[in-house]
A and B are shown apart, each in its own frame.
Chain A
Amino acid sequence: MSALLLRAAAALLAVVPAATAQAHQSEAERDQIRQQLAVEDLRDCKLATMERCWYGVFGTGEAPNRRLWFADMKARPTGAARDAPVEIDVMVAYESKTAEDSQGNEFVFYTLQYDCAGYRLRMADGYAFMRNGKIDRATEAGPWISGYRPSWYSLVEKLACDAKVRLSPQTHQMFWAGDFFRPVDLFDFTYRYLWEHP
């Protein structure tokens, strides 16, 4: 059984123990479990135990119009060559939710490819999850672009191209957000718990 499966099993065992008097938890223990779930695997991503490892890397704006950028530390090379582009997923969460703006984005999910040696990037895939629940998906990969520094692209570039940054994100002012497999769950978590909307 893989370590991931054991971890999932352990998490579920912690959350839903058998309904016996022996297994019941105190409120303090329950709080501790919630805390563990919230900061599950609060560590760097050198261990391949998570499908995803989201860190908040950048933010702008004031409530109720904040924006947060999350990057999945599980960057992966696109080929066997040493200088093969590195692929990394990014989610941009938008706070504002107004009825008039039903065509607006709740979040945009990018799969970016960085050519680390060439200092250029392109969007390999992506979609926008709109406020009306519809999905606007990119139909094709974008062109390679350069000259994107300084911007949030360059922060993500550090993650994609510099293993040292990936292994110590908190020393680069990045915060752990969770291991949500689906970006939409990460957005809902952000909207409710980080931005404190009901």
Chain B
Amino acid sequence: MNVGEHILSGRPGKTRYEIDEKKRATRKTERIVTKNEVVYLFPHTPAIDAAVRKFGNNPAAIATELGVAARYKARTFTDDDGFFRFRGLKPGRYLLMTAVPYEAATITADDTGKVRTTTFFDYNGWFISGATSVSEPIYRYRNTVSKFDHPIVKVVDVRPDKPQTALGEIE
């Protein structure tokens, strides 16, 4: 990745939806951006192309297939408003990878250590012909806030005739 004069900028983000009890997204949404997160840029190679086709939006899997491109990564950080900027690029195709950490309301099941046993009887007329017992752990449910990472994998083109490529908000 030699030095050039092109610039690539963008703002990774994630739209957080509120989910109701029926697991439907409600109208309440919120845009999340991040600060001080690492943004990687790799030269787009045939191996990377194959990995993206195979693994899609799974950066951990793609990372195992980067091959020689891993040596030539560019690396920067998002600023306090979530923006990043790569300077000194040569025109070409690149693979951009980063993540947007965010929090979401979740329900956590704590194992109480207790077990509930339920017995089912089989009847033959008035007589019990058999019985089956099922044991299951007893959970205590509580509302919690969990941390997640929203992965971003994007192939970007830096065109020779375009000194500045602004990706805008990417998700």
The answer to whether A16 and B97 have CB atoms under 8 Å apart is yes
- Residues of the B chain whose Cβ atoms lie less than 8 Å from the Cβ of A17: 60, 149
A129-B88, A184-B87 known; A16+B72 contact, CB < 8 A:
no
Distance of A12 Cα from B63 Cα, bound (Å): 6
Minimum distance in angstroms from A79 CB to a CB of chain B: 24
The answer to whether A13 and B101 have CB atoms under 8 Å apart is no
8 Å CB contact of A184 from B37, B40, B88: B88
- Residues of the A chain whose Cβ atoms lie less than 8 Å from the Cβ of B87: 133, 184, 188
A183-B3, A185-B75 known; A16+B60 contact, CB < 8 A:
yes
Minimum distance in angstroms from A90 CB to a CB of chain B: 15
The answer to whether A135 and B3 have CB atoms under 8 Å apart is yes
Minimum distance in angstroms from B33 CB to a CB of chain A: 15
Tell me, yes or no, whether A8 is within 8 Å of chain B by CB: yes
Residues facing B in A138-192 (CB within 8 A) are: 180-185, 188-189, 192
- Residues of the A chain whose Cβ atoms lie less than 8 Å from the Cβ of B1: 181-182
**What is the interface size of chain A, counting residues whose CB is below 8 A from a CB of the partner?**
39
The segment from B23-31, B76-84, B115-123, B124-132 found at the interface with A is B76-84
The answer to whether B3 and A8 have CB atoms under 8 Å apart is no
Distance of A198 Cα from B79 Cα, bound (Å): 7
User: Per-residue CB proximity of B54-85 to A under 8 Å, as 1/0?
Assistant: 00001110011011001111111101100001
Tell me, yes or no, whether B106 is within 8 Å of chain A by CB: yes
The answer to whether A12 and B71 have CB atoms under 8 Å apart is no
Q: Contact residue range for chain B? A: 35 or more
Residues facing A in B80-102 (CB within 8 A) are: 80, 85-88, 97-99, 101
- Residues of the A chain whose Cβ atoms lie less than 8 Å from the Cβ of B40: 12
**A17: nearest chain-B partner, CB-CB:** B149
The answer to whether B3 and A181 have CB atoms under 8 Å apart is no
User: Per-residue CB proximity of A119-138 to B under 8 Å, as 1/0?
Assistant: 00000000101000111000
A12-B59, A16-B59 known; A198+B149 contact, CB < 8 A:
no
A12-B60, A30-B101 known; A188+B146 contact, CB < 8 A:
no
- Residues of the B chain whose Cβ atoms lie less than 8 Å from the Cβ of A15: 37-38, 98-99
A1, A5, A23, A192: residue with the most chain B Cβ atoms closer than 10 Å: A5
The answer to whether A129 and B3 have CB atoms under 8 Å apart is yes
Residues facing B in A2-40 (CB within 8 A) are: 4-5, 8-9, 12-13, 15-21, 23-27, 30, 34, 37
B5, B80, B149: residue with the most chain A Cβ atoms closer than 10 Å: B149
Tell me, yes or no, whether B36 is within 8 Å of chain A by CB: yes
8 Å CB contact of A182 from B58, B74, B79: B74
The answer to whether B88 and A19 have CB atoms under 8 Å apart is no
- Residues of the A chain whose Cβ atoms lie less than 8 Å from the Cβ of B63: 8-9, 12-13
- Residues of the B chain whose Cβ atoms lie less than 8 Å from the Cβ of A4: 70-71
A12-B60, A24-B146, A129-B88 known; A134+B73 contact, CB < 8 A:
no
Minimum distance in angstroms from A159 CB to a CB of chain B: 22
A180-B75, A188-B87 known; A8+B66 contact, CB < 8 A:
yes
- Residues of the B chain whose Cβ atoms lie less than 8 Å from the Cβ of A12: 40, 59-60, 63, 97
- Residues of the B chain whose Cβ atoms lie less than 8 Å from the Cβ of A34: 36
**What are the nearest 10 A-B pairs in CB distance?**
A184-B88, A12-B63, A8-B70, A16-B99, A16-B59, A9-B63, A24-B147, A51-B71, A19-B148, A13-B60
